[in-house]
Structure 1
Amino acid sequence: MRKSLSLAAVVTAAAALVAVPGVSSAAPPVKQVQWVACPADVALPGLECGKLQVPLDYREPQGRQTEVMITRLASKSPEKRKGILLTNPGGPSEGLTFPFILKALGMPQSVLDAYDIIGMDPRGLGYSSPTTCDLTEEQMAAGSVPPYAVKPSDVRKRADETKKIAEQCLKSSTADTLPYNTTRNIAHDLDSVRAALGEKKASFLGYSYGTYLGSVYATLFPKTSDRVVIDSSLPASGWDVEGGRLMARGVEDTFPDFAKWAAAHPEYGLGATPQQVRAKYFDLAARLDEKPSVEGINGQMFRMGTFAGLYSTTDESFAKLAASWKAFDTGQPQPPQEFPEVPRIQALLAGRLNVICGDSEWPSTVRAYERNVAVDRIRYPMFGAAAANIQPCAFWPKPVEKQVRLSDRGPRNILMVQNERDPATPLAGAHSTRRAFGDRAAMITVDQGGHGAYLIGRNKCANDKVTEYLLGGQRPAHDLKCAAETG
């Protein structure tokens, strides 16, 4: 089974048609999905695979085409079927297996009956005209989130590295598609899929980066988007320089959950109080900065691994993170880890860079990132000097289209669901998106930690509210809060 790569997987490798301005109003002829045999790593029970030709640049709909691949987990109850549910797992990353994953996570049978669940590899990723940046293994090891700048000079050193990555992307064999692999165009692709499947409207469920994709989709296509659910929201501006910096706040928001858990489990020896566990974090990071572990894991990797370890706040996940810390603390080998395939990381990171760098303009001077790191090192000491560090986007060409500005004009069809404590997409970012949509949206805030709420966080209140909306279309009249659940 091909798993959708999460940021945690990348960190593991490191540790070892409404008209819009500039878009032609002449709609191209509706194309049909070509149903094909699924690739071996996507051939999962119930999944069908299809290909669709779409414009590379929607401003020139009759021009050069590119290809996206989709999957369908079809409803088996024609009398209950409402339509299609487009999905995105975040990333940006591959999404073909996501319908199967949602079913495995416990998506209610009533929802599976109501919709054909649609997955898609966004353009430039997976089986949808993948891109490359010819990254080396060392470059891939850095992942999507910058390394922690231990010293101020590390920002300039990282700038040299990221400039080289950007140059590789711009000289690669797929560089000519780079300006068009954007969230705006991926949203257009979603609507092309809807049309190709013969549906007047489409509903949407997206997580993490998928919330920004869903938000752009709902903004560009208010007449053809039906019920839109966005879970674990990026800010209204997406994954831009400020959206990236928010990850540091997310770590500060979420870490107390782990610190409390670790203090209640003395067998790991990480501290008797949450304050002592927090102190242990800084102690281990400093020690590994000075002398890497037996596996060569340094303080940067330790911080990144802890960040990824906060994605899930289950006892099992916290136990794994605590065991890893204990091994660092006692000089023992790390527990066994599962490493993702290097080629998969290559394609994932290249495709992801295309999207986040092409969506918005990033500061282009190294000095700007030096200032950001200096500020966030103090403001968010656990992870600020990583999240604010420089990205290859600093050396990217100016986007060919203006960034989509989320709109409060349209139907009241957006339901947001958000954990109060999320390491990657903190509540502050969700509030930004909530404000941008105004009355179009309502938000469910869940008193729990981790990245992902619906079906992932196991909170019955949140799960029931989202399911009710997908089935009945009745969104909560006002924002509401779901209490923490215990036992």
Structure 2
Amino acid sequence: MRITRRGAALAATTTVLLGLTAPLAAGASAPDRPAWGACAGGAPDGRQQCAELTVPIDYAQPAGPTLRLAVSRIPAARPDQRRGALVLIPGGPGGSGLNGPSSAAKRLPQSVLDRYDLIGFDPRGVGRSSPVSCGLDHADLAPGKLLPWPAPDGQGGDANLATGQRVADRCAANGGPVLRSITTRNEARDLDRIRQALGERRISAWATSYGTYAGAAYATMFPDRTDRILLDSNDNPDPVLAERSWLAAFATGAEDRFPDFAAWASSPEAGELRIADTPEQVRTAYLTAARQLDAAPLPWPGNNPSVLDGNGLRGTMLNGLYADARFPAVAALIQAAQGRRPLPDPGPAPDAAALAQLQSSTAVSAATLCNDVAWPRDLGSYATAVAADRVAHPLTAGMPVNATACAFWHWQPAEPPVRVTSDGPSNVLLVQNLRDPATPYAGALKLRAAFGDRARMVAVDSGGHGAYLANGNACGDALVTEFLTTGHRPARDAFCPKAG
């Protein structure tokens, strides 16, 4: 799962048969072939091309209203070695993936670039794919509103409930039919339309974060259309709770990962940002600073919101655990709360394009969470859960089990969550950090179990969100690259020790 922030602020050897497509569903029209051309606004990598596809808003009505899906590609570097298409499934939900090929081309080894067309896309409702908006007020786009942080007294909080109700109402009023159609099942169907349009009988995929659930859904719904499926930083596929389990997982994920930050912040490596002499003292300093900010927020002109309160620090902490490079931002805010340094410059306000992107990503995130699975409507149940979770997981103060807009959502799910099973070819590889704050190892093990012998897992002794080519672990990177280039996976689940 991704946190959007500003200021203080996600059969292994099957041969691809090119030019063949699986049969279309009855009543479905043949997908248009991509008319590749320059990407609107340019692309980070000059080799990247863009196109648009037409897909149904409602796949139950294939001849009904449609939307435009933006796709991109960087062709395989060695056509004579080309295996097929590697679709890059972005995280979020609500993350843009149109420039995914440009980003991946900077990191992937040449052996992978030689063999695959890199395919990116903006999921429906995001970016250039018929973007949706709930028309939220600027204040409701603040980082502190994007996750349901409880009030300082530990209650769910009237303000949080009011925000959830307001977001749900705005989405119902302004989102339109595209927003109502946004589900993981429909993303999997969109992926299959991309496959058909590319003229591929089977596709490979590299999915990250929320994308692992979309990728797992695709591999479950269309198993015979998969080649090599790489799932990186994996969501719990609970067939009843689905996204409800993902939000709850932030509590355990933060506890898994915080010791890495505490070790850094108590070491000479932190320099002037060193918080304390021991990791235990760093934890105490963070919790104390958050309580102090609950009681007396610091003015923060130019930021959204214009104060740093306890939940602002908690949100920065959670976002900061995604990568070691973000540790200094967390330490700086703790020291600001202690009066040891001024608050950092929040930077320039986002321009109109950035705000539009934030509106669409926020709307798609809410729609995916609320359309995929039913959430409790009993508000008292959230307050009870928050009180218990604050005691069990003080780092996140009850946020992971608090009420969101989904408690007030205007529609019930049209379909049940995807139940991932072991049915299908054994062509899935999971790669997972042991200390991931957003998609914890415990949840990844559940996805591994759901796939059964279809999958193998490479567990990496690393912290942060993102495993392949993200943490400098040569062992894990080599195993994943071998899978993508040759189809070979470890005979059994593998473990890669900490680098160095």
TM, length-normalised to structure 2: 0.90
Matched, 1:312 2:323: yes
Q: Which residue of 2 aligns with 1:445?
A: 459
> 2:394 corresponds to which letter in structure 1?
P
User: Structure 2 CA distance, aligned partners of 1:346 and 1:96?
Assistant: 17
Uncovered stretches (5+) of structure 1, i.e. residues with no partner: 1-5
Matched, 1:334 2:343: yes
User: Displacement, 1:277?
Assistant: 0.3
User: Displacement, 1:343?
Assistant: 2.4
Matched, 1:484 2:498: yes
Post-superposition CA distance 1:420-448 (Å, at most 9, x none): 00111111111111111111111111101
User: Structure 1 CA distance, aligned partners of 2:201 and 2:328?
Assistant: 47
Maintained 8 Å contact 2:97/2:122:
yes
> 1:212 corresponds to which letter in structure 2?
Y
User: Structure 2 CA distance, aligned partners of 1:329 and 1:375?
Assistant: 28
Moved more, 326-335 or 384-393: 326-335
Maintained 8 Å contact 1:33/1:52:
yes
User: Structure 2 CA distance, aligned partners of 1:143 and 1:153?
Assistant: 16
CA RMSD of aligned residues (A): 2.1
> 2:254 corresponds to which letter in structure 1?
V
User: Displacement, 1:99?
Assistant: 1.4
User: Which segments of structure 1 move beyond 4 Å, counting only runs of 4 or more?
Assistant: 23-27, 337-340
Q: Tell me, what secondary structure is at the counterpart of 2:168?
A: helix
User: Structure 1 CA distance, aligned partners of 2:26 and 2:132?
Assistant: 29
Alignment CA distance shift 1:143-1:197 (3 Å): farther
Q: Tell me, what secondary structure is at the counterpart of 1:11?
A: coil
Maintained 8 Å contact 1:155/1:389:
no
User: Displacement, 1:239?
Assistant: 5.2
Matched, 1:467 2:467: no
Q: Which residue of 1 aligns with 2:17?
A: none
Mapping of residues 58-137 of structure 1, within 5 Å? 58-92=59-93, 93-104=95-106, 106-137=107-138
User: Structure 2 CA distance, aligned partners of 1:256 and 1:212?
Assistant: 27
> 2:484 corresponds to which letter in structure 1?
L
Matched, 1:11 2:22: no
Maintained 8 Å contact 1:36/1:51:
no
Q: Which residue of 2 aligns with 1:3?
A: none
Post-superposition CA distance 1:112-136 (Å, at most 9, x none): 1110101110001110011110101
User: Structure 1 CA distance, aligned partners of 2:261 and 2:284?
Assistant: 13
Q: Which residue of 2 aligns with 1:248?
A: 251
User: Structure 1 CA distance, aligned partners of 2:205 and 2:157?
Assistant: 39
Moved more, 358-367 or 40-49: 40-49
> 1:325 corresponds to which letter in structure 2?
I
Maintained 8 Å contact 2:32/2:54:
yes
Mapping of residues 368-447 of structure 1, within 5 Å? 368-396=381-409, 397-447=411-461
Maintained 8 Å contact 2:154/2:397:
no
Post-superposition CA distance 1:141-172 (Å, at most 9, x none): 13532224422434343112101110110011
Maintained 8 Å contact 2:148/2:399:
yes
User: Structure 1 CA distance, aligned partners of 2:42 and 2:391?
Assistant: 45
User: Structure 2 CA distance, aligned partners of 1:472 and 1:62?
Assistant: 40
Alignment length (residue pairs)? 472
For 1:323, which of 332, 338, 363 is the aligned residue? Answer: 332
> 2:389 corresponds to which letter in structure 1?
D
User: Structure 1 CA distance, aligned partners of 2:343 and 2:69?
Assistant: 40
User: Structure 2 CA distance, aligned partners of 1:437 and 1:178?
Assistant: 30
Alignment CA distance shift 1:24-1:77 (3 Å): closer
> 1:461 corresponds to which letter in structure 2?
C
Uncovered stretches (5+) of structure 2, i.e. residues with no partner: 10-20, 301-306
Mapping of residues 24-423 of structure 1, within 5 Å? 25-40=26-41, 42=43, 44-92=45-93, 93-104=95-106, 106-141=107-142, 142-172=144-174, 174-237=175-238, 240-265=243-268, 267-295=272-300, 296-313=307-324, 316-330=325-339, 332-338=341-347, 340=350, 341-396=354-409, 397-423=411-437
Alignment CA distance shift 1:384-1:288 (3 Å): closer
Moved more, 316-325 or 78-87: 316-325
Q: Tell me, what secondary structure is at the counterpart of 2:31?
A: coil
User: Structure 2 CA distance, aligned partners of 1:221 and 1:414?
Assistant: 13
